[in-house]
A and B are shown apart, each in its own frame.
Chain A
Amino acid sequence: MDLNRRDFLKVIGLGAAGSALPGCGGETAKLIPAVLPDEEIVPGVANWYASVCRECEAGCGIIVRVMEGRAKKIEGNPDHPLNRGKLCARGQASLQGLYNPDRIRGPLQRDGERGEGRFKPIPWEDAMSRWVAALQKHPGGAVLISRPVPGTLAGLFSTFMKEISGTVLFYEPSAERPLRAANRKSFGIDFLPDYDLANTTYLLSFGAPFLSHWLSPVHFGIAYGEMRQGRPAVRGRFVQVEPRLSMTAASADRWVPIRPGTEGLLAVAIGRLILKEGRAKLSREDRCRFEKFYDPFSIDRIANETGVAEEEIVRLAREFYTAASPLAIGGGIASEQTNGTDTLVAINALNLLVGNINQPGGIHFFQPSGFPASSAEVVGEQALLDLKNRTQKPSRALLMLYQSNPLYTLPPSTQFRQVFEEADFIVSFSPFLDESTAMADLILPDHFFLESWGDHVTEGIAPAVGLAQPVVIPRYDTRPVGDLFLSAANRFGGGLKERLSWTDFRTMVREQWQDFFALRQPAQPFDAAWVEALQRGGWWKPEGKPVPISQRGAPTAPEPARFEGSEKEFPFHFYPFPSMGLHQGEGANRPWLQELPDPLTTVVWGSWVEINPKTAQEYGLAERDLVRVISPYGVIEAPVIFFPGNPPDLISMPLGQGHTFYGRYARERGVNPLTLLAPLIDPPSGGLATGATRVRIERTGKRGRPVLVDQTGQGAKRHTEEGEA
């Protein structure tokens, strides 16, 4: 089995190299039979291939079960330090991306008006010429909006765009931008730390949704299990402070509701108490700075503003400083406000006060892996909005999109659509016809990640470089985006061709690894190391090397969060949250995820509005009534679900639905709550403040039809009760 596998890897390498060039499609199609002679394909016997999950930015290691050339099941790679054999719902469902019936099957060009979403096939050769011609016509005016792709692809994109004097934006909606900005301020370090949840004895989280979608949910899921029940005689305690009882808060020992946008203030109060009660572990000069900062704040005023009782604040502070290994984290709703970064700086300060940096159960900074070409500075919404001014210049832009759907993930109030409308030419490399791709003039569809070469660098958390190999033959007439850029560079000639002289992306990946291994393990011959990396799914070390932290920034006073819409006219805070399955909308074209019940409400296949039951009664609303949610920027309708975890003045809605394109499972299903949002930004991070819009509700007098799956059997009962059968 091992020998076969080695042979397989060698041949698959050759095959993929050929696939870059036009006319080589036939060779790739023969890939599997060439590798595994017919007599070796035992029906019912599976091969497992290692790769990297690309369904979110975490990049968990995966192994894929392949039978007769078809991927059958994805599991976590037990070897990978990030996810140790575990996987989340989205990773499990990624097969439905590979086998999605609505994948784009070959290059397309616009047919009809821009935005109509009508396309007709075009040969690859013509498509490439059109794209390269557009590149040549727009020196300096080209913009590539890409999802963050930490690894060789990031290096390729960056070099390419730099050589043509264009711009590359690695954009992630609701990213950990505020966290990065805050860590820069607090610790002077530019990468994300690892939070040692597993060894924490007291976790104080300000809104961080680490069990559903924050940073690296599988990694934190594992750590959470260990924190609770993994140690003899120690069970870590966990308190979640946030306005809405989220799925993460449901697992907490105590949920502390708080007024939206005041989380930083609460952290300041707790910090002040730690210092005042003489429990801060600070050097003399640090103490001075911190004292100066905390002094002016009064606890009872903060209790008033946050809505958290004074006794509760005192209790939190004492629990925190008496714990053996306390840890404070912040994210989610706490950072998605106009003061998000400041809030996180105030939370960071709590960790500095108890001295848990690079301590067991605390915040750890690890040395980066040193993988070449891995830096991809992630940008927030502001960077995209800055394009609006840019496109007004005489040379209009060439817009390129890689797995990025800003027309869906940016609120219409930002008027980002203008960038698309004014763009001279739009090229998308997406394998799916999403909202932004529907505006394209030319679509050069990428392989799905299970058909591609690639790598994924995880810095900070568990230092690892995952290696992705094609685990199945590409299904359609698509091409790996890396090959497209290299081929374009070749056609472009000049400096671009020189800097990017690789014949295909696989060779480029391999060479990056060669450089990396030359540095890391010079004694080992590269060929052997490469095959081993392919078999294991990458390179990693069990333990990262800690980086000492010299900077210890005192917090800055958090500005009060700004909210758009007057309290009188719009009495509710509005909080749209990424859905468990659909996340920001990417999962909406996977039937498994559409039919995955929301963990808190059990709703499937649609949108809903969560309202505190008492508030609903005041409005004369029954569960399932259709309501209008109105903000200063828009109106949407969705059915009401009673939600005991909402304060009376807060309304929440899941993100992910309301697609106008994106295939049969997603299209025209539910609503997109982003249409309500004000274009407010957290300035230091440039991230959208999704929690900053106020809304009101109106009854429509109609009944909605949310589908709740609840406990089995009850669905049917409810259905007949309502006489809809």
Chain B
Amino acid sequence: MVEYRDQNAPPGGPYQWGMVIDLDRCTGCEACMVACKAENNVRIAGEDEAAKGRAVSWIRIERYWEGEYPNAQLKFMPVLCQHCGNAPCEPVCPVYASYHTPDGLNAQVYNRCVGVRYCGNNCPYTVRYFNWFEPHWDEPLNEQLNPDVTVRSVGVMEKCTFCVQRIRAGQQTAQKEGRRVKDGEVTPACVQSCPTEALVFGDRNDPESRVSKLAESDRGFGLLEELGTKPAITYLKRIK
């Protein structure tokens, strides 16, 4: 297995994009979910398809009930693609549609994907979605589609990209100006909308970035990290 994430890369080396999700801030308001759909042209399934488990949401809020009345408790946890450094979805793809970029993104090449769904099967976070049908928008809802992002057709897998279109735009601007992307300059749609600032995004290779500093918190943990997937997302425990 190739180790993709270079934890020791010096500052000034390649970017390593990562996210921190503070569960002590998240309120389950779901602003992130709609923001992601709007930014990334995520299709609407409709009632019947949703009933068949075919609704798509690149980011979702999982909820965990504990205890019984009057001691019931509920916890929220935003879950999106973890952009694993050691991604279980990548080696199983027969056509290399699922691959790792040098800056730490788990990318999906839609026009290469042949829809065998091995990647979805192998993802322990169930964040990869299959397109069971051709996406459809009632006119004129289609006029709102973001031209920076492709619309995925029937038969391919899709998932959170860390809003790669925004990352690339940010990188290009920085490159033109002969500098590195500044901390906070690139913001995925979900991060931008989140009222409580539960989500923070940035370069893990920059020790001064907010995301690097927050990830050092002693509340930090990786989702199912015992699987050795080396997620690029650090969760911060909710305090009780």
Contacts and interface: CB of A to CB of B under 8 A. Distances in A.
Interface of A: 43-44, 67, 70-76, 83, 85-89, 91-93, 95-96, 98-101, 211-212, 217-218, 221-222, 224-225, 228-229, 235, 245, 247-251, 253, 255, 257, 475, 580-581, 591-597, 599-600, 602, 604-606, 612-614, 644-648, 664, 669, 705, 707, 709, 711-719, 725
Contact of A596 (B24, B30, B73, B198): B30
19 contacts: A87-B195, A95-B144, A101-B138, A211-B29, A217-B195, A224-B195, A229-B24, A245-B74, A251-B28, A255-B72, A255-B73, A580-B29, A580-B30, A595-B55, A600-B28, A709-B50, A714-B53, A715-B55, A716-B54
A235 B60 contact: no
B122 interface: no
Tell me if B's interface is mostly helix, strand, loop or mixed: loop
Interface in B6-33: 22, 24-25, 27-31, 33
A218 B30 CA distance: 12
B68 interface: yes
Contacts of B33: 89, 596
Given A217-B29, A228-B24, A644-B69, A716 B53 contact: yes
B52 A719 contact: yes
Given A72-B146, A96-B144, A711 B38 contact: no
B193 to A, nearest CB: 5
Interface of B: 22, 24-25, 27-31, 33-35, 37-39, 44-47, 50-55, 57, 60-63, 65, 67-70, 72-76, 126-127, 129, 138-141, 143-148, 189, 192-198, 239-240
Nearest to B71: A255
A87 B129 contact: no
A257 B28 contact: no
A251 B27 contact: yes
B29 A644 contact: no
A74 B47 CA distance: 26
Nearest to A258: B70
B31 A87 contact: yes
A602 B63 contact: yes
A92 B65 CA distance: 28
Contact of B69 (A43, A597, A645): A645
Contacts of B65: 644-645
A664 B47 CA distance: 12
A83 B46 CA distance: 31
B144 A72 contact: yes
Contact of A257 (B24, B69, B146): B69
Contacts of A211: 27-29
B129 A712 contact: yes
Contacts of A95: 38, 144
A257 to B, nearest CB: 5
Contacts of A606: 47
Given A72-B144, A86-B195, 15 more contacts: A88-B193, A92-B31, A92-B35, A217-B195, A228-B24, A250-B27, A250-B74, A255-B73, A591-B44, A595-B44, A599-B61, A605-B46, A606-B47, A614-B68, A725-B52
A664 B141 CA distance: 13
Given A92-B193, A217-B29, A716-B54, A225 B198 contact: yes
B50 A707 contact: yes
B28 A87 contact: no
Contacts of B148: 44
A86 B193 contact: yes
B70 A647 contact: yes
Contact of B195 (A44, A88, A247, A646): A88
Contact of A711 (B25, B31, B126, B193): B126
A711 B62 contact: yes
B76 A250 contact: yes
B217 to A, nearest CB: 10
Given A101-B139, A648-B69, A225 B195 contact: yes
Contact of A86 (B22, B76, B194): B194
Nearest to B239: A235
Contact of A595 (B29, B45, B61, B69): B45
A318 B192 CA distance: 39
